[in-house]
A = this chain, B = another copy of it.
Amino acid sequence: MEKNTYKILVVDDEPDILEFIDYNLKREGYEVFLAPNGQEGIEKAKEVNPDLIVLDVMMPVLDGIEACRRLRDMPEFKSTFIVFLTARSEEYSEIAGFNVGADDYISKPIKPRVLLSRINAILRRKDQNNAPSKIQLGDLVIDKDSFVVTKGGQKVQMAKKEFELLYLLAGKPGKVFTRENILEKVWGDDVLVVDRTIDVHIRKIREKLGDENISTVKGVGYKFEA
């Protein structure tokens, strides 16, 4: 529903790789667009205005670095995320050296896990940027700018993870978040923690705010009571 409406443009000259990435990103729910070289990549980008562009470094007609540079020169792509694909990880130093404003790079051979977790991470960052700084629900106020939680005017001390977890749940009151959801948003999908960890944090929040705010939906997850 939310995250999966992002548009991703993938530019690479090898059809196999294009197909491979296309398959994996679509499976994740992203809208995917493809182009075989930098030139056509730029055209396509203008056309669909993607949220993120995956650029191969080595390509005929127009290579990734030059394409990136040209994209960055256009105001509409100043802040679009760009991820490079490099054949060898050492190539990254070149990209960095060229200083064209890449947000990340992924070395070939591409592992679906890595690809997806990097892309998810970048787009999550984007998500966060338009998150509200203050959530108000009844007598509960959650202010991300100051990292302060107030209940009935009374300040409640929250540790970082507790705060982030509460902020996530309270951001969509009534919506059930699965543990998988929560892990992805609060921990990031590369981190591996056991389910009970979330429960412990939930418990701590309940201790501080009372049991009525967060309810358990058995077999599914947790939600903030609207």
Q: Which residues of A contact B (CB under 8 A)?
A: 4, 27-29, 31, 33, 46-49, 75-76, 78-79, 129-130, 132-136, 145-148, 159-161, 174-176, 217-220, 223, 226
Contact = CB atoms under 8 A, between A and B. Distances in A.
B218 A133 contact: no
A147 B31 CA distance: 21
Given A47-B132, A48-B132, A160-B220, 16 more contacts: A27-B76, A27-B78, A29-B78, A29-B79, A33-B130, A46-B136, A47-B133, A48-B133, A48-B134, A49-B134, A145-B174, A146-B174, A147-B217, A159-B218, A160-B217, A161-B219
Contact of A133 (B27, B49, B79, B146): B49
Contacts of A133: 47-49
Contacts of A4: 79
Contact of A145 (B31, B145, B147, B176): B176
A145 B220 contact: no
Contacts of A220: 147, 160
Contacts of A218: 159-160
Contacts of A159: 218-219
B75 A28 contact: yes
13 contacts: A4-B79, A27-B75, A29-B78, A29-B79, A31-B129, A31-B130, A47-B133, A47-B134, A48-B133, A48-B134, A146-B175, A160-B218, A160-B220
A176 B75 CA distance: 31
Contacts of A78: 27, 29
A4 to B, nearest CB: 7
A176 B217 contact: no
A7 to B, nearest CB: 9
A31 B161 CA distance: 26
Nearest to A49: B133
A130 B29 CA distance: 12
A146 B217 CA distance: 9
A27 B134 CA distance: 25
